[in-house]
Amino acid sequence: MRVIEIPASLDYRNIERLHARIEVGDTGPVLFDARRLRWIDPNGMLGLLGAGKVAGQGGKRPRISLPTNVEVAGYLERMGFSRAAAGIFQQQQRRVRRRPAHASDVLLEITPITTNSDVHEVVDMVQARAGAILSNTLRYPPAAVVQFSVILSEVCQNIVEHAEGPGWVAAQSYNWTRRLGRHVAVIAVSDLGRGFRASLADEHSDRFGDRWGDVTALEAAFLLGLTRFPDIGRGQGIQQIRKQVARWNGLLSIRSGTARIADTPDWSRNPPVQEGLRYFPGAQINIILPERSGD
């Protein structure tokens, strides 16, 4: 059995450590050992689900050993990880007793996205919580709730329109006192579908010739606003997300295939472009919205 040890911390900063250990098409038994996990964010949770799905494509569902830390195990349960993982992993621990979530705690539990109706349900579900968190915790103006809903709708819609496969979304607010000195909201969206390169290939690969690849496809969508549609004006979701996240001094990154591209604010150390990463199917989107400072 091949054992994949999950690091003690698994979030957007080190998710590549997980991607680097995944063998697409692995046919042997696999164990994800998360017993030492002490910290995980929505990106880490969706990364684990995606990695488990990929590891099981060879025909055998992988096993997972959940964290021994009671708080982390309880947090995963509160975010709906066990429910989402039920059809992906053979779980080796009994489910942790679910504790009631605080009203200002979880923005959105892990939620599967497969259809347009799922997107509408997610937006409806999160609006009440988003209002409290954006206004009271992040100190955004009342109009931000609508803008946040648009962002959430667009990133989820990306799964339905581009991935042509199922995906997940999750969001959480945190107090980053040590890291940033402010509260933040973290939104993660992940799918195992076609990815940007395949989604845009029919319409745009010829113009880029030999340069066409994962990083070029991300640059085409992210920087140039190109979409899979031939007519101008359709599918401008990413551009709208970029503008709004930038207004809030947030971070937006998209990983697809072997590359990642990002809008990085001054508080982030993420490089704007990474290529030559370990191949991972689909696309993974990370958005971090910080609390407003000053005024």
Distances from the Cα of 288 to the Cαs of 90, 173, 224, 253, 269, in angstroms?
A: 32, 9, 22, 9, 13
Place of tokens 């339905």: 160
Superfamily for domain range 1-97: STAS domain (3.30.750.24)
What residue spans define the domains of the chain? 1-97, 101-295
Q: What pTM was estimated for this model as a whole? A: 0.91
Contact present, 66 and 92 (Cβ < 8 Å) = yes
Q: Where are the beta strands (DSSP E) in the chain?
A: 2-5, 9-10, 30-33, 39-40, 63-65, 90-91, 106-113, 167-176, 182-191, 251-257, 259-263, 273-274, 280-290
Please list the pLDDT of the chain residue by residue as tens digits (295 residues): 889 999 999 999 999 999 999 887 677 889 999 999 999 999 999 999 999 999 998 778 999 999 999 999 999 999 999 999 998 998 655 555 555 444 445 789 999 998 888 888 888 888 777 888 888 889 999 888 889 988 988 888 888 877 666 799 999 999 998 888 899 999 999 999 999 999 899 889 999 999 999 999 999 999 988 877 654 444 457 888 999 999 999 999 999 999 999 999 999 988 999 999 999 999 999 999 999 876 5
CATH superfamily of 101-295: Histidine kinase-like ATPase, C-terminal domain (3.30.565.10)
Q: In the 8-state DSSP scheme, what is residue 177?
A: T
- 127 φ/ψ angles, rounded to the nearest 5 degrees: -60, -45
DSSP conformational letter for 290 = E
Helices (H) and strands (E) in the chain, counts: 9, 13
- pLDDT value of residue 100: 45
C-alpha closest to that of 110 among 17, 41, 210:
41
Phi and psi of 121, rounded to 5°? -65, -40
d(CA 63, CA 91): 6
